[in-house]
């Protein structure tokens, strides 16, 4: 935990030099046409930097750089042990620059500095280090062949990877992609969200310092979908990986089909159910977890526990505990280490969240807590954590991803009904089950159509566990050895002896 005060972080913010240019072929560079866009802090509305607004010409240049580096083998043909050493240095450089990166993350997208420092930067470094450590321990295969033949099954890097990453965990989500993509020997063109591009731009230089050759990692910021579309349609991009909304994910699949049938791996939306049975082992712990599941990172989390399913027999006892727990999550200046709820990322997202709150009221759900914009006098974008009771699962606030601190409470009477409600969504990213009955917990976990299921906790797991979703939450997996599947091709070589 940081020992720096609010005043310390404010001074560091004033002294911070921010790089806003793209990074291509090992150098920072302006967009080809010189276009830039304003990067505005949601904390107080001030201008942080002007950032290069890349487009088609920049995408062409970055992909050509990545392809040339890949074909030359300066990274792809390095021994896995040598790539591992570089990846570990890259992770160590993130840790050495932890305060700078955390500050950029907080200023750029509004998350509390304590979370940026304790969660985002360590999580990003861990993803790079874990992937690097693993790469020289992943073996190829020998097929069971007749005595006069030899069958080899080998994994080869796929080539040029375009990675489009979201604004809610900009650094960590980038490193979830960069770790396995780089460790397996690919070249990468990274496209950060225009809402939070600053850490992606900064770590490009750190990658070069770590020993990743020029051209292997390129970073293209851009406003809107211009450069993302250019990468998705590019005939020389072999794989496209994406984390973001389901709407954009579907469009990227179309672009891949319209171009070169590039592999597309998607982590998209969620509307995760958090199921609390009457026999939950600790209702107080469940209430604390329910509050954190919706308020952490201002609810701007794809796995946010936005639907709280409560068994009717305990609702009168349990719901007041949740309300009380959520009162402890209070919006404040994200540069204050005591703050646990920061600012929403931009005005568009603020209006989206407030619109959903109004939709919940209009549908007849009851606001038990919050429901208002707050701290307007700061010039920042803050919303009170909000609880709706009396929510039907067909309501808009129960079906659509809000990406804000808005919790919908839904009542059920049986395990079968809980599972039916939980699965009644287009998404299938995550879910949680609270029960002291081991058999019930296992049965429920198996019945839930979700890529991650947590029992008697919310948001468990680490780099050893795969992360991804069922249904319209996407395909493929980040983290764990399974992530390497996205960045490698399998080759069968059959030799007649």
Count of beta carbons in the 10 Å neighbourhood of residue 134: 22
Q: Which of 267, 300, 311, 401 is catalytic?
A: 267
Count of beta carbons in the 10 Å neighbourhood of residue 119: 18
Exposure string of 420-430, with b = 16+ CB inside 10 Å and e = fewer, is ebbbebebbbb
Cα 121 to Cα 336: distance, rounded to the nearest angstrom: 17
Which two tokens mark 49? 């930097």
Is 210:132 a contact under the CB 8 Å cutoff?
no
In this structure, what DSSP letter does residue 162 have?
E
Which two tokens mark 396? 């808009």
Count of beta carbons in the 10 Å neighbourhood of residue 212: 25
Count of beta carbons in the 10 Å neighbourhood of residue 20: 20
100 is catalytic: no
> ∠ CA 247-249-250 to the nearest 5 degrees?
70
Alpha-helical runs (H) found in 110-156 = 113-115, 121-135
Exposure string of 243-266, with b = 16+ CB inside 10 Å and e = fewer, is bbebebbebbeebbeeeeebbbbb
Which two tokens mark 130? 């874990």
Distance of CA 182 to the CA centre of its chain: 18
Q: In what order do the strands lie in the sheet with 149-157?
A: 141-143, 149-157, 488-496
User: What is the three-class DSSP state of 246?
Assistant: helix
Nearest to 171 by CA among 273, 101, 84: 101
Exposure string of 311-323, with b = 16+ CB inside 10 Å and e = fewer, is beebbeebbebbb
Is 53:222 a contact under the CB 8 Å cutoff?
yes
267 is catalytic: yes
The Cα-based distances of 294 to 22, 145, 326, 357 in angstroms read 34, 54, 9, 14
Q: Which of 39, 302, 384, 401 is catalytic?
A: 302
Is 367:376 a contact under the CB 8 Å cutoff?
no
Q: CB burial class (10 A; 0-12, 13-18, 19+) of residue 374?
A: middle
Cα 489 to Cα 404: distance, rounded to the nearest angstrom: 38
The Cα-based distances of 209 to 197, 221, 472 in angstroms read 20, 21, 39
Active centre residues (catalytic): 267, 302
């Amino acid at each position: 935990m940081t020992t720096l005060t609010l005043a310390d972080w404010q001074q560091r913010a004033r002294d911070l030099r921010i790089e806003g240019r793209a990074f291509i072929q090992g150098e920072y560079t302006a967009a080809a046409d010189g276009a830039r866009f304003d990067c505005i802090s949601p904390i107080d509305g001030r201008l942080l930097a002007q950032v290069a607004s890349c487009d088609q010409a920049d995408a062409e240049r970055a992909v050509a750089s990545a392809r040339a580096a890949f074909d030359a083998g300066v990274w792809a043909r390095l021994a896995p042990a040598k790539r591992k050493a570089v990846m570990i240095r890259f992770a160590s450089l993130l840790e050495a620059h932890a305060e700078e990166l955390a500050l950029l993350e907080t200023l750029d997208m509004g998350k509390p500095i304590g979370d940026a420092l304790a969660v985002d930067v360590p999580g990003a470094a861990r993803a790079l280090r874990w992937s690097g450590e693993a790469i020289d321990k992943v073996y190829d295969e020998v097929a069971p062949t007749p005595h006069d033949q030899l069958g080899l099954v080998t994994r080869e890097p796929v080539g040029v990877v375009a990675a489009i990453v979201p604004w809610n965990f900009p650094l960590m989500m980038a490193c979830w992609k960069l770790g396995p993509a780089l460790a397996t020997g690919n070249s990468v063109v990274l496209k950060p969200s225009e809402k939070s591009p600053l850490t992606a731009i900064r770590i490009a230089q750190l990658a070069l310092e770590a020993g990743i050759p020029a051209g292997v990692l390129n970073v293209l910021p851009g406003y809107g979908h211009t450069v993302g579309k250019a990468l998705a349609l590019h005939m020389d991009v072999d794989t496209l990986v994406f984390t973001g909304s389901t709407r954009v994910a579907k469009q990227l699949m179309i672009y891949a089909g319209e171009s070169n049938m590039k592999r597309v791996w998607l982590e998209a939306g969620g509307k995760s159910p958090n199921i609390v049975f009457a026999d939950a082992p600790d209702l107080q712990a469940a209430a604390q977890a329910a509050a954190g599941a919706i308020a952490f990172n201002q609810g701007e989390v794809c796995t946010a526990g936005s639907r709280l399913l409560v068994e009717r027999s305990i609702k009168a006892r349990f719901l007041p505990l949740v309300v009380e727990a959520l009162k402890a999550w209070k919006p404040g200046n994200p540069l204050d280490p005591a703050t646990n709820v920061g600012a929403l990322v931009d005005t568009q997202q603020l209006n989206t969240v407030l619109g959903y709150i109004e939709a919940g009221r209009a549908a007849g759900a009851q606001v038990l807590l919050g429901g208002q914009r707050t701290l307007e006098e700061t010039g920042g974008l803050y919303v009170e954590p909000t609880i709706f009771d009396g929510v039907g699962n067909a309501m808009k606030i129960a079906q659509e991803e809000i990406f804000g601190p808005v919790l919908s409470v839904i009542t059920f009477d049986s395990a079968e009904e809980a599972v039916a409600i939980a699965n009644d969504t287009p998404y299938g990213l995550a879910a949680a089950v609270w029960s002291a009955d081991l058999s019930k917990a296992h049965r429920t976990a198996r019945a839930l159509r979700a890529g991650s299921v947590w029992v008697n906790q919310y948001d468990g797991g680490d780099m050893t566990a795969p992360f991804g979703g069922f249904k319209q939450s996407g395909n493929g997996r980040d983290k764990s050895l399974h992530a390497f599947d996205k960045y490698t091709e399998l080759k069968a070589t059959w030799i007649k002896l």
